[in-house]
A and B are shown apart, each in its own frame.
Chain A
Amino acid sequence: MNILASFEWIKEYVDLEGVTPEQVASRLSLSGPGVERLYPQGTEWDRIVIGHVTTVEAHPQADKLRITSVDVGSKTLRIVCGGSNVKVDQWVVVAMLGARVKWHGEGELVELKPIEIRGAASEGMICAANEVGLFDAFPHGEAEILDVGEVFPERAFIAGQPLAAFLEVQKDTVLDIEVTTNRPDAMCMQGLAREIAVVLDRPFKPVVPMPIEEGEKTLNVSINTEDCQRFMAVRVDGVTVAHSPWWLKRRLLSAGIRPINTLVDIGNYVMLELGQPMHAYDADKVNGSLTAKKAEAGQAMKALDGKTYDLDTTMLVIADEEKPVAIAGIMGGEETAITLETTSVVFEAATFNEVNIRRTSRKLHLTSESQSLFEKGLSTEALPIALARAVELCLTLAGGRVVTNIADQQTLPYKAVARAMHVEKINELIFGKQDSETLSKNTISSEDMEAILTRLGFEPVGTKNGVLSACVPWWRAHDIEADRDLVEEIARIYGYVNIPPHFPAGISGSTRDPSLVFEDRLKTLLKGLGFTELMSYSFVSRELLERAQINPEVCLRVQNPLSNDFEYMRPSLMPSLIQAVSENQERFPRQYVFELSNVYQQKKGDLPAEQPELVLGLTGASDAWNRLKGRVEAIFRECGIQVDAWRRLENDPWWHPGRSMQAMVNGNVLATVGEWHPRLAERWKLNAPLAVAQMRVADLLAVTQFSKTYKPLPLFPESTRDLALVVDEALTIETVQRVIEEANEPLLRDVAWFDVYRGQGVAPGRKSLAFHLVFSHPERTLETAEVDTAFARIRRLCVEQLNAGER
């Protein structure tokens, strides 16, 4: 949570004489909450000054405009003004030429230039509060300029004094500080001041309010739920509610809170100062005593934001004897709210269960400054101080008298906890194990540790038998949860920059995951084969699955998807691949793409199987299937995989029945390659045939031969003959090859198909297949006659068995 903290305000609780906001920001960020930005105050009020209206005349051309003379010290400006309340001898805010203002309080800041308004020249502008960003401080009606004399009756004015100086903000800087959720104690001015005091080693000046002098009347509060740990209240009568003085408004505004009236502002001020949210009720509108309890079924309450909230029995409320008067810790009710007519007030300070506050807030979609503090977890021990502080401010700013006792109910007594750790262990965690030589250099002494903790408010702190023990201050009870937490407190204040880095050389106790290494190898290979890698989201839409004829019901579903597009964990990468190809096809008619990612298969009663899958897509060629098959074969070659056979795949909705095949290894399907079924391709409006391939990486890895075996190079020359056979169209290359191999020719070393020909010289319904036949002998050079004989025998066999002709 980010806190806006006025540097001048912070200085009330810590002596920062001679320290700049920049210095605080740099030091605090390294040892405490991070300061993200600095906002020097009043800079937007350059050339905006206090002016004195000396003459007001009617504008000859416009009823609603006046021509004024305004004394701004060094000179008198002639300004055309539309303010309905402008008058002679009035002190006003003047924006001189070159100043930047917000026209009518709206839009961006605009720089003032010399201008003629209805024929009359104007050398500046008399500002309304909303034109200089002061509307929240000085609310006003339409077309009313800010009458400074009226809102600051007690002040003396100097014509020409810069507005920033007049409002005493010019020396201030607001720090935007990120406080982590575990540190609600630092989400207030006093808490930040404490951190700054410790980090910069400066004196800390905590708030010590005047004790409350109790009155004679009786005020009862009760707690009727275990989710309220403490509930305090006190009543003050005879108050006068008005607008707060400027210094109070200014502090609230600097923290981003809008001033309302004295009593409401006091509550917010105490919250900002001490981090303890407060609430104030108009005592005359509260019926009987207050109780913290769960709401009753069917109850509703109109809150301060003007909206009515339906409550349920899990939600904490503060109720009088009739009705809920506040959604506890989140927002008060409108009915009992403080107004300018209020004369009697009940101040409440309470502590609530953080989980309950959080859940109620989420359920009601209702947030507030108060709720965001309560849901971090606050201490019961803050209440007496906060209540006393509120009463003190009330008596000063709104008058009145405390008329009741201080009601105080507590369901969970507070007990301070001590944490302890070995000094040696603390040092070891920070600096590492040390030998005797470096020991003195890189350690924090127990005295220094004690000093750090004491400055942070731990009390008592001590070391006995090498064990450091420290009692946790109440404001840190929520975040110092265990002994280990002492290490952070000591190390951060000591300074992480002061810990010398040490590179821990060594090797891991585990070995590389072979499948990860394999995946990486495959990707390198595919890049080399010209493929571009895709990466899609792991979840897909129901529509995409159905388009690919995958039954969504068998897929793992996300219970709370971001949208329908991200609903099912994909059981295959194929639909995403097809989608990507279709989206790119207009720009890239030729695509070589692949994805290698996990797919998810549901398993009963267990986590799903997450298996890496590899899919490839190739488009932009009429023989796409063949090009892709060749590349899949290249993968196999690279992996040392011998395919037993390619089997035709005919009855699968994904695959073109005439152009799809599966590589068989050891009787199992290793990969499927073919053309995406044209019937499905139409659903993606694919422009051209798309060849795809699919395989499981684990299957591939299982049959991959990483080790190579050396074969001696042939000692004697090989002899190659080409065999061309004209056969029936239906006859496969594999069949011819088998016949050649089954000839069992001892001199035949290798057979390789290299061409198919149809056309002139070959009868329709027939095709010519051509093969390279390689002959050799391991021990001698072959005679031409020998090769001729062997070749002739093979040719004869083919002609006989395959009804083949020759070209």
Chain B
Amino acid sequence: MQQKLEQLKQDALRALQSVTAPDALEAWEVAFLGRRGALATLMKGLATVSPEERPLLGAKANEVKLGLEQTLVEVKTKIEGARWEKKLEEERVDITQPGQLIETGHLHIMTQAIREITEIFERAGFVRSRHPEVDWDYYAFEALNMPKDHPARDEWETFFMDAPIDEKMGKMVLTPHTSNAQVRELQKREFPVRMINIGKCYRRQIDSTHVPMFHQFEGLYVDKGVSVADLRGILDYFVKAFFGPTRVTRLRPFHFRFTEPSFEIDISCGVCQGTGRVDGQKCRMCKRGWLELGGAGMVHPNVLHAAGLSDAEYSGFAFGWGVERTYSMKEGMNIDDLRTIYKNDVRFLQQF
């Protein structure tokens, strides 16, 4: 009996050596370890041996069974492994082949700039509004403390519309700045006025640094007790959010009709870190370490009056800067010819 068990073990192991496929392994399992397999058949003979021999043979049979089962698991693992290996080998690809070409869309650089500016100011509690591009002289100039004869109005190089002149509102113009929104917004009486107006503006100029249509963003904050300190706070916040946390601002005196006091805003140059020098040479990006961002100021009392507000009660600040110019001041955004922005050359558009 013992011999038979040993023989069975040897036979089974020999048979297993030629097994390489999963179904053959299954057949082997049935033949040797199955319910009616060779081992089971042999075990039936256990009933005929003497009670003394029985525990010994039982133990032996169990040992053979466990041994074969363990070998089975090993072989099974090996076969499985080989099967996967083969399959995965077959599925191997050239990973240097470029991915499927997905044509993605592109938003215009101005849309992206406007979005970024809007988001920064919305976080500061300013809300974007919509105001006309074709507007009355009244809102574009008159209400902004620019009387008809004032030379400041020559500077704007305004486009006029071929349209009748309104008795009260004057000529119809293409607004040369987003400041036409100031009195319009104040007339809504939604205090505190915390407006960011981003829109198209128009001036009669075209060269590499001027386009006849461009975008400005206008900030207006009018409430009781608004101060120069508030303007400085908002400027610092915007410049750090837009250009980066290391940049600083400064105000310089300037002159605009619709603000008093008026300022020119400079930001420290990102190329020379505000030193005005790069490797011992004059920085080519800036003037003496500073870049001109644009104008700002405290809303002129006459502008408040035009909106029917008392300057004893209300004060505010305003600023208006070119989106193209401001965006060009970002690192890596130095667009040498602004006209490119509106040429619709897909090669340009796809860069953004």
Contact = CB atoms under 8 A, between A and B. Distances in A.
Q: Do A and B come from one complex?
A: yes
B225 A432 contact: yes
Contact of B159 (A561, A580, A587): A561
B107 interface: yes
B233 A501 contact: yes
B344 A531 contact: no
A602 B221 CA distance: 33
Given A183-B255, A433-B225, A488-B253, A496 B344 contact: no
A533 B108 CA distance: 5
B227 A180 contact: no
Interface string B99-115: 00001111110110001
Interface in B220-237: 221, 224-230, 232-237
B227 A537 contact: no
A354 B288 CA distance: 35
B58 to A, nearest CB: 54
Contact of A523 (B107, B172, B224, B346): B107
Contacts of B278: none
A510 B188 contact: yes
Interface stretch (A29-37, A67-75, A275-283): A29-37
B252 A29 contact: yes
B259 to A, nearest CB: 9
Interface string A76-118: 0000000000000000000000000000000000000000000
A289 to B, nearest CB: 31
A401 interface: no
Contacts of B218: none
- A180, A508, A531: which has the most chain B beta carbons within 10 Å? A508
Interface stretch (B33-41, B82-90, B189-197, B267-275): B189-197
A558 B260 contact: no
Given A536-B342, A584-B344, A508 B193 contact: yes
A484 interface: yes
Interface in A431-445: 431-433, 442
B159 A558 contact: yes
Interface residues of B, number: 90
B260 A484 contact: yes
Nearest to A491: B261
B129 interface: yes
A584 B103 contact: no
B229 to A, nearest CB: 4
Given A433-B225, A502-B232, A530-B105, A523 B111 contact: yes
Contacts of A557: 161-162
Given A503-B237, A566-B212, A610-B134, A488 B262 contact: yes
Nearest to A483: B301
Interface in A476-531: 479, 482, 484-485, 487-488, 491-492, 496-497, 499-513, 515-516, 520, 523-524, 526-531
Nearest to B171: A559
Given A375-B151, A501-B236, A504-B230, A559 B345 contact: no
B154 interface: yes
A479 B350 CA distance: 49
B251 A610 contact: no
Interface in B276-300: 287-288, 298, 300
Contacts, number: 244
A588 interface: yes
A181 interface: yes
Contact of B151 (A181, A429, A487, A561): A181
B251 A496 contact: yes
A499 B107 contact: no
A501 B238 CA distance: 13
Contacts of A431: 227-229
Contact of B128 (A516, A569, A588): A516
A155 B158 CA distance: 57
A541 interface: no
A607 B252 contact: no
B263 A608 contact: no
A684 to B, nearest CB: 14
B342 A526 contact: no
Interface of B: 103-108, 110-111, 115, 124-130, 132-136, 149, 151-152, 154, 159-164, 166, 172, 174, 188, 190-195, 200, 202, 204-206, 212-213, 221, 224-230, 232-237, 250-255, 260-264, 287-288, 298, 300-302, 311-312, 315, 341-342, 344-347, 349-350
Given A502-B232, A592-B103, A558 B161 contact: yes
The number of chain A residues touching the other chain, given as a range, is: 35 or more
B124 to A, nearest CB: 8
B133 to A, nearest CB: 6
Interface in A674-725: none
Contacts of A32: 253
B173 to A, nearest CB: 9
Contact of A598 (B133, B149, B152, B235): B133
A432 B250 contact: no
Nearest 7 pairs of A and B residues by beta carbon: A488-B261, A432-B227, A501-B232, A180-B255, A527-B105, A503-B233, A509-B190
A255 interface: no
Contacts of B164: 605
Contact of A607 (B125, B136, B152, B230): B136
B222 to A, nearest CB: 10
Contacts of A533: 105-108, 111, 349
27 contacts: A34-B254, A36-B287, A375-B151, A429-B315, A431-B229, A432-B230, A482-B301, A484-B260, A487-B260, A496-B252, A497-B251, A502-B232, A508-B195, A509-B190, A510-B193, A512-B128, A513-B127, A523-B111, A527-B106, A528-B105, A537-B212, A556-B162, A556-B163, A558-B174, A584-B345, A587-B347, A598-B200
A182 B212 CA distance: 26
Given A510-B188, A510-B193, A584-B345, 13 more contacts: A180-B253, A432-B226, A484-B301, A488-B261, A496-B228, A502-B230, A507-B125, A510-B127, A533-B106, A533-B107, A557-B161, A605-B164, A610-B133
A510 B195 contact: yes
A302 interface: no
Contacts of A559: 159-162
A177 to B, nearest CB: 12
B206 A562 contact: yes
A538 B215 CA distance: 12
- B188, B202, B205, B301: which has the most chain A beta carbons within 10 Å? B202
Contact of B227 (A429, A523, A529, A579): A429
B227 A530 contact: no
Contacts of A355: 149, 151
A430 B134 contact: no
B137 to A, nearest CB: 11
B316 to A, nearest CB: 10
Contacts of A429: 227-228, 298, 315
B133 A538 contact: yes
A386 to B, nearest CB: 23
Contact of B125 (A33, A442, A505, A515): A505
Contacts of A485: 260
Nearest to A602: B163
Given A428-B225, A538-B133, A584-B344, A507 B194 contact: yes
A583 interface: yes
A774 interface: no
Nearest to B292: A34
A614 B347 CA distance: 22
A420 to B, nearest CB: 13
B217 to A, nearest CB: 13
Nearest to A503: B233
A475 interface: no
Contacts of B205: 562
A675 B162 CA distance: 34
Nearest to B230: A504
Contacts of B105: 526-533, 592
B151 A515 contact: no
Contact of B127 (A354, A508, A537, A592): A508
